[in-house]
């Protein structure tokens, strides 16, 4: 009996040869070659700005033939894609990090928006319903086809996007940061789905900054750095460590993913007592339950917990009551009660909050770096209530240098920066308010390991300068790596506290599960 053919022995479904792409004087891709074999999961990794998205836009027809140099072969034939319709016709489907679903339309309507089955020129609603049910079953969703997208969580919306791809007879599925906004359970389910697709012969390209996920599912890993391909690793031929992937991505050995710091912890700066918050719509539901905490000068305190624990709601309710209703409790700064009933008053009291959603809530993407940095402290760049353009420019240039923001200048549109540099602009905006307490909600979500290291270094610098820092993160290794103390949150309460030096993923989860066990 013949041995089964491994992914490495299968013929290429995709070959991109010598791809170069420039934007004016900036060369985004330089002689990149990229080969994907049929029926494999091929991971594409690199720092923000390495060229991953540009390469996939060339492949998917967003950048048409003639706008780049090099050639593309798909299924053994050279292809000249004019637009995304050409690629989709061949079964090349890309799912972007920002989901392209219409919230107030149903699942079925979203899936078949552009290609609904019809009879005699009229949409066959019965066929739409039945085909949607079959597609949802394939991706493991039990929802009805007429369920509105707005009533689904992000994890289920991601599965609807995949069902939409399957409706187009997908042969090559490209997923750009598919788990960036998902909790651990939804992420695991999505990775299992990719493995199932592999068994069915569907080829996938996975772009992700979560190296543990890549190591779990990838057959091969290609690394891009500074617009060039620096090698492909076969995960079946060798044991590929996360440190090796990082070394290739950043072109240096990282002795530790987390910069070292010697804490110099001082007096209590920030204190919360008996803080309670109710849901803004479901007014009988208490989301935050009589919480109390302290953060000292020079201290980095982490808040860990499962999705839905109430971490973001707690932070937003403190910062100007940006979320919730019937909010009660006391906030103290330097031992004295302060009014945080509006965002302006919270800023005046010395608080700053970096949101987990930098694109929607943290930045004005269409504005330049300069305007985004000054946004939270306009009086700081004004003379007699009029914005001083020179002062604004100087402040932006100072933060651009201090935060190591990679850009052409401070007049570059913020939406055109990489995710890591966008995050540095958000941090700059709030640091310009000169806060005593900085709350960072998922500060490294969707950014690469090199940019993460820089964010961690900035957090250390803030603590060394005597600031109090609170970090909310779903990545437990991150909290363990950078925090002096970790508070464990579950169902709106703090259920445990672990010193940073003693913290492990096991004892954090043990605190959560211990409380869950009591409740059950």
Q: Which two tokens stand for residue 423?
A: 């995050």
Sequence-ordered list of residues with C-beta below 8 angstroms from that of 264, at least 6 positions apart, any chain: 298, 464
In 3-state terms, what secondary structure has residue 149? Answer: helix
- Beta 485-490 vs 493-499: how paired, if at all? antiparallel
* Averaged pLDDT, 201-211: 88
Contact in structure between 347 and 390 (CB atoms under 8 Å): no
pLDDT over 90 at 78, yes or no:
yes
Q: Is 250 helix (H, G, I), strand (E, B) or coil?
A: helix
SS3 string of 348-397?
HCCEEEECCCHHHHHCCCCCEHHHHHHHHHHHHHEECCEECHHHHHHHHH
pLDDT at 3 (0 to 100): 43
Whole-number pLDDT of residue 4: 44
For residues 110 and 123, the answer to whether their CB atoms sit within 8 Å is: no
| Terminal C-alpha separation, the chain | 53
Q: How far is residue 250's CA from residue 214's CA, in Å, rounded to a whole number?
A: 17
Q: Would you tell me how many other CB atoms lie within 10 Å of the CB of residue 331?
A: 20
pLDDT at residue 47, as a whole number? 76
Return the structure tokens found at 253. 């050995």
Write out the two tokens for 386. 């009029």
**Are 426 and 417 a contacting pair, CB within 8 Å?**
no
pLDDT value at residue 2:
38
Lowest mean pLDDT among 125-134, 155-164, 274-283: 155-164
Give me the pLDDT at residue 231, please: 87
Q: CA 192, CA 189: separation in Å to the nearest integer?
A: 5
- CA 162/CA 177 separation, integer angstroms: 13
Percent of the chain residues topping a pLDDT of 90:
49
Residue 8 pLDDT: 54
What is the reported pLDDT for 514? Answer: 66
d(CA 55, CA 38): 19
Q: Is 277 exposed, middle or buried (0-12, 13-18, 19+ CB in 10 A)?
A: buried
- Residues 225-234 have pLDDT tens digits of 888 998 899 9
Bridge partners, 220 (sequence order): 42, 234
- Tracing tokens 């007699």 back to the chain, one arrives at 384
Angle, CA 116 vertex, CA 112 and CA 120 arms, to 5°: 170
Which residue would you say has higher pLDDT here, 437 or 502? 437
Q: Is 194 helix (H, G, I), strand (E, B) or coil?
A: helix
The b-or-e profile of 305-326 (16+ CB within 10 A means b, else e) is: bbeebbbbbbbbbbbbbbbbee
User: Domains (ranges, CATH) in the chain?
Assistant: 10-91+171-250 (3.40.50.300), 107-170 (no CATH), 268-350+435-519 (3.40.50.300), 364-433 (no CATH)
């Amino acid at each position: 009996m013949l041995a089964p053919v491994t992914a490495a022995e299968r013929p290429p479904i995709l070959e991109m040869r010598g791809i170069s792409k420039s934007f004016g004087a900036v060369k985004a891709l330089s002689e990149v070659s990229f080969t994907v074999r049929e029926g494999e999961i091929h991971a594409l990794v690199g720092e923000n700005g390495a060229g991953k998205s540009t390469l996939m836009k060339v492949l998917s027809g967003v950048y048409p033939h003639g706008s780049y140099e090099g050639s593309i072969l798909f299924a053994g034939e050279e292809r000249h894609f004019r637009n995304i319709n050409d690629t989709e016709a061949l079964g090349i489907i890309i799912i972007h990090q920002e989901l392209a679903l219409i919230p107030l339309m149903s699942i079925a309507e979203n899936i078949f928006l552009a290609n609904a089955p019809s009879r005699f020129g009229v949409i066959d609603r019965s066929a739409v319903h039945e085909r949607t049910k079959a597609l949802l079953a394939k991706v493991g969703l039990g929802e009805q086809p007429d369920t509105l997208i707005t009533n689904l969580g992000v994890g289920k919306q991601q599965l609807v996007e995949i069902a939409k791809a399957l409706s187009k007879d997908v042969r090559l599925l490209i997923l750009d940061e598919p788990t960036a906004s998902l909790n651990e359970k939804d992420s695991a389910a999505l990775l299992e789905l990719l493995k199932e697709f592999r068994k069915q012969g569907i080829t996938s390209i996975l772009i992700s900054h979560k190296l543990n996920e890549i190591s779990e599912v990838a057959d091969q890993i290609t690394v891009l750095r500074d617009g060039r391909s620096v090698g492909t690793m076969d995960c079946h031929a060798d044991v590929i460590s996360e440190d090796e992937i990082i070394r290739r991505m950043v072109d240096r050995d990282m002795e530790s993913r987390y910069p070292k710091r010697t804490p110099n912890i001082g007096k209590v700066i920030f204190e919360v007592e008996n803080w309670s918050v109710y849901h803004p719509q479901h007014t009988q539901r208490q989301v935050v339950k009589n919480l109390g905490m302290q953060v000292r000068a020079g201290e980095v305190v982490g808040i860990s917990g499962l999705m839905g624990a109430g971490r973001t709601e707690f932070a937003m309710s403190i910062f100007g009551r940006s979320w919730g209703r019937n909010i009660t409790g006391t906030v103290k700064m330097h031992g004295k009660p302060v009014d945080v009933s509006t965002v302006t008053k919270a800023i005046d009291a010395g608080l700053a909050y970096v949101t987990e959603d930098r694109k929607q809530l943290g930045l004005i993407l269409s504005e330049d770096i300069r305007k985004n940095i000054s946004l939270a402290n306009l009086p700081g760049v004004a003379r007699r209530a009029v914005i001083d353009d020179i002062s604004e420019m100087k402040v932006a240039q100072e933060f651009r240098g201090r935060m190591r923001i990679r850009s052409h200048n401070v007049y570059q549109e913020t939406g055109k920066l990489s995710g890591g540099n966008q995050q540095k602009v958000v941090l700059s905006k709030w640091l310009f308010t000169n806060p005593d307490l900085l709350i960072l909600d998922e500060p490294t979500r969707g950014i690469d390991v090199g940019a993460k290291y820089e964010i961690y270094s900035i957090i250390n610098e803030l603590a060394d300068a005597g600031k109090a820092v609170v970090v909310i993160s779903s990545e437990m290794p991150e909290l363990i790596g950078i925090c002096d103390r970790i508070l464990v949150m579950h169902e709106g309460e703090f259920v445990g506290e672990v010193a940073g030096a003693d913290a492990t993923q096991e004892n954090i989860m043990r605190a959560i599960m211990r409380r869950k066990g009591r409740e059950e």
